[in-house]
Amino acid sequence: MADTIQADAFLEGDEDSTYGDTDASDVSLTSSVQKSEWEHGRSYHSYRAGQYMLPNDETEQDRLDQKYQSITLVFDGKLFFAPIDKPKAILDIGTGTGIWAIDVADAHPQAVVTATDLSPIQPTWVPPNVIFQVDDAEDTWTFSTKFDLIHTLCMTGCIKDWDRLFEQAFEATTPGGYIECQEISYIPSSQDGSLTPESAVLQWHYLQKEAAEKAGLDLVSSGTLTKERLERAGYVDVVIKKLALPIGPWPADHTLKAAGYHQLCAMLKGLEGISLRFFTRYLGWTALEVEILVAKVRAEWRKPSIHSYWPL
């Protein structure tokens, strides 16, 4: 756990503060890949349909980008922590909107950045050293090159077999290369007990976790578990870095306050999409029941007295 985050006392009881401003292997791009599936008014990827539980529409893309902004602030602008100066080949697994891949390609123009995802939602105007591919990271890897750096960001809850993924990643890593897993453990936490057992946020989390487990996914991650898996795959000298990602602009520190603001915006915007398929498919809920619970969670997360964060 990172150092304790000091809360901003001036926000307490201020319901009209900043909280009030938060609204919520390579496959060619055939028409079938580019099409989307629709469910409850949200669009989802069609390639390997159902493999990924969250939408891929514009609302979800905005959430992904805002979440990335919050993490970048916590990382103090660092794209990765691996001690590598001039990587020549980089792989980004589950690139989403491609924003990390684009940033790292700009920062390292000498590198070829390959970025994969189930959804072809990445922009077309990108640095010339970026290659986007529609791919399922849990398939057998067929890359023709090895990589100096393999990267994952927020793939917890997306991968069913981490051991196999890391085994394939190890085989695709150049000698002396690195893998970096920048992962959130999706357990809403609070250092001061402001999230009580009766909290709507925690009730939502436990239900989401139950549904994910029925889908064969785990929303809980830890540096220790990831380290063990990486070492089983063959990696050595694995380093764990523990941080905290605030949910809401409650920290006194200005950078963490901004990070928390962006993360809260991302959660308020994305709660419905994050929940719908899990709850309706695996818990038997109706979309209306999901909407009611989501409204309660949003209302609670808007309270400045809730000092929650994600372990990162």
pLDDT, position 75: 97
Q: What are phi and psi of 106, to 5 degrees?
A: -65, -40
Long-range own/partner contacts, residues 270-274 (CB < 8 A, 24 or more apart): 270/24, 270/59, 270/60, 270/63, 270/67, 271/24, 271/204, 271/297, 271/298, 272/42, 273/42, 273/54, 273/55, 273/57, 273/59, 273/60, 273/63, 274/54, 274/208
| pLDDT greater than 70 at residue 15 | no
What pLDDT digit, counting tens, does each position of 94-138 carry?
A: 999 999 999 999 999 999 999 999 888 899 999 999 999 999 999
For the record, the structure tokens of 295 come out as: 């409204």
Query: What is the model's pLDDT at position 5?
Result: 76
The string of DSSP codes covering 146-183 is -EEEEEEES-TTT-S-HHHHHHHHHHTEEEEEEEEEE-
Taking the whole predicted model, whether its pTM rises above 0.85 is answered as yes
Buried b (16+ CB within 10 A) or exposed e, 77-108: eebbeeebeebebbbbbbbbbbbbbbbbbeeb
Inform me whether the pLDDT recorded for 304 exceeds 80: yes
- Residue 1: other Cβ atoms inside 10 A: 10
What percent of the chain clears pLDDT 70, i.e. is strictly above it? 87
Across the chain, what does the average pLDDT equal? 89
- Summarize pLDDT for 39-51 with one digit per residue, the tens: 777 778 766 655 6
Q: What are the tens digits of pLDDT across the range 189-198? A: 998 999 998 9
**pLDDT tens digits along 166-182:** 999 999 999 999 999 99
pLDDT at 277 over 70: yes
